[in-house]
């Protein structure tokens, strides 16, 4: 695997993880609804949509190559966005 493909994997994984966390925070109320059926359906659709987007991006830009570090960067992007949103929320409260 060449360097260009590795950089693409890293960029896509981090970006999708960041967007996943951002979208999750934006539609939090829909995902945590009182009605169990709405909750299950919204979680399934949300996860299937982001998995489809992630693997289509990997297929298009990285020739479908998936490594363990792409999963780690996906998780890292999720946590970076969560910490940034908490910092912004704390700044706005003060």
The model's pLDDT over 4-42, given as tens digits with 9 standing for 90+, comes to 888 999 999 999 999 999 999 888 877 888 888 888 898
Dist CA 6 CA 1 (whole Å): 7
The model's pLDDT over 61-77, given as tens digits with 9 standing for 90+, comes to 888 888 888 889 999 99
Q: Scan for tokens 């700044």, then name that residue.
A: 91
Virtual torsion, Cα 20, 21, 23, 28, nearest 10 deg: 130
Q: What is the reported pLDDT for 63?
A: 84
Contacts (Cβ under 8 Å, ≥6 apart) of 55: 64
Total-model pTM = 0.82
Q: What is the reported pLDDT for 26?
A: 87
Query: How do the domains of the chain map onto residue ranges?
Result: 3-93
- Count of CA atoms in the C-beta half-sphere (13 A) of 8: 17
């Amino acid at each position: 695997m060449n360097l260009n493909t590795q950089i693409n994997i890293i960029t896509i994984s981090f970006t999708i993880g960041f967007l996943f966390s951002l979208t999750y925070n934006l539609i939090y109320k829909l995902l945590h609804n009182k009605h169990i059926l709405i909750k299950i359906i919204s979680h399934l659709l949300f996860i299937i949509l982001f998995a489809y987007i992630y693997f289509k991006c990997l297929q298009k830009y990285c020739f479908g190559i998936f490594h363990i570090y792409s999963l780690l960067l996906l998780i890292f992007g999720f946590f970076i966005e969560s910490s940034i949103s908490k910092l912004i929320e704390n700044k706005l409260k003060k």
